[in-house]
Amino acid sequence: MKILLFMLMIFLSQVVFSIEGKEKSKDELRFQKLDQFNKILFLIENNYYREIDFDKLIEGAMKGMMSTLDPHSAYLGKENFEKMEEETEGEFGGLGIEVTQKDGVMVVITPMEDTPAYEAGIKTGDKIIEINNENVVGLPLEDAVKKMRGKENSKITIGILREGQEKLTRITITRRVIRVKPVKYEILQDNYLYLRLVQFQKKSYLAVAETLEKFQKELSKKGGLSGVILDLRANPGGLLEEAIDISSIFLHDGVVVSIESRDPKNRDVRFVKKTGFKDLKTPLVVLIDGSSASASEIVAGALRDQKRAVLMGTRTFGKGSVQTVSKIDEQNGLKLTIAQYMTPNGKKIQALGINPDVELNVLSDNYSKLSKDVNYVREADLKGHLDAVIESEEEKRLRLEEQKKVAAESMRKMKKGKDEKIYDPMEDYQVIQALNYLKANKIFKKINL
C-alpha cells in the first residue's frame, strides 16, 4: 500500500509539473512573439530604404492586430474617435451612408434619409470601388471612410458597382453637415400612425414618445389612435440605451435584452424602464429588413418575444455583438467586441438575424432608396464575423439556403435615383400590408375571433 501511495504521489507531482510546464511554455511563447515583433521593428527602422515614421508604423501594427478579431473591433485614431462621438450626437459631416467591408470591398448597408448620399441615389448593396478616381479595394475600412469625409460643401466623386450593372458608375456628391432627424411620421387612413425611426441616436426616445403622445391627444376625439406601424427598415442601430427606452414605451415590464460576455455565467440583463411615456395597448406592427441592425434588432426582438408586436418584412442584418469604446489616451481609443446580445427568450442575434412573423418582399419602387429588394449584405457575410454558438449545422445549412433563395428572387435592375418620386407610405407595399394587418386584427377582435 505504501508503495502504491508513493507511486501515486509521484504520478500526481508529474502531472502538476507537466501542467505548470505547459503554462510556462505558453508564457514563453508569448514573450517570444513579442521579441519577434521587436526584431521586425528594429529591422524595418534600420534597413528599410526610406526613413520610417515610427508612430505611423506602430499605428499600422495596432490596426492590423485589431483586424484579426472581427469586423466591429478596431483601433480608433484621433479622427475616427472624434467621428464616433459626433455620430451618437446625431450631427456630423460627410455623405450620410452606413458602410461595411466584405472581401476587401466597401459595401453600402444603407444611405441615411435626407443626406447627400441618399439624394444622389446611392442604394443599399452598392459596392464602392473608387473615391476621387482612386481605387479603394483592399484599403482598410477605417482609411476608406476617412477619405469620404471632408469639409462642408466640398465635392467627392465615388465610383460604384451595382447589382445588374457591369460598368462602374461615378457619382459626384457635395459633402455637408449631416443632421439626422431621428423620426418621420404620417397619419394614414382611419387614424393609423406610420412612424419611421431612422437611427438610434441621442433623444430618439424623446422624438418617438413625443410623436405618439401628440397623435394620441389629437385623435382622442376622433376615436383615438387605431394602430402604429413602427418602421425600422434600413435602420443601422445606434445607442443601446435608446433601444431600451424605446422598447420600454410599449412594454409594461420584463426583459428587453440580455448581454452575454466571454463567461456565459456573467450575464447583464436589461429590464423595461417603468418610468416615462407608455403606450401599452395600441396595436403595433414593426417593419424590418436586411438593413435593420443592432439596436433595431434589440427592439424588434424584445417586442416580438414579449408578444407586444408583429414583425413584418424580411430577415434582419444579424449584428448582435456588443462593442465598448475605451480611451487609450486623450485622442485615441479602442473599439472592442466584448459580448453578444440576446432577446428576452434567450435567442442570439449575431450572424443569425431576426426572422419576421410575416415575410413580405419589397415591391414598391418609391422605397428603393432605402430598402429595395436587393441582395443584402448581412453580418454573416462579413469576413471574420462572430458566429452565434446556438446555431447548429442544420440551422446554418437552412439559413444559407434561405439567403441564396432570397438573393436569387430579389436581384432586379434598379431605376436611377433621379427617376424616383418622393416617398409615400401609401405606395409602399410593405406599409400597405402592415396597415391591412392592423385593420384585420381590429375586425377580428370585434367579432371575437
The catalytically annotated residue of 70, 231, 245, 305 is: 305
Q: Which residue has the cell 432577446?
A: 343
203 catalytic residue (yes or no)? no
CB atoms within 10 A of CB 363: 13
Buried b (16+ CB within 10 A) or exposed e, 177-214: ebebebbbbeebeeebbbbbbbbbbeebbbbbbebbee
Which of 204, 291, 294, 296 is catalytic? The answer is 294
247: CB partners within 8 A, 6+ apart: 256, 272, 298, 299, 302, 303
Annotated catalytic residue: which of 83, 123, 127, 319? 319
Instruction: Give the Cα separation of 352 and 55 in Å (integer).
Output: 39
Question: 263 an active-site residue?
Answer: no
Torsion, Cα of 69, 75, 80, 86 (10° steps): 80
Q: Around Cβ 353, how many Cβ atoms within 10 Å?
A: 27
Query: Half-sphere exposure (CA, 13 Å, Cβ side) for 102?
Result: 15
The helices-and-strands tally (H runs, E runs) of the chain is 11, 19
Is 194 in contact with 229 (CB distance < 8 Å)? yes
3-state secondary structure of 313: strand
Check if 305 is active-site: yes
Residues with catalytic function: 294, 305, 319
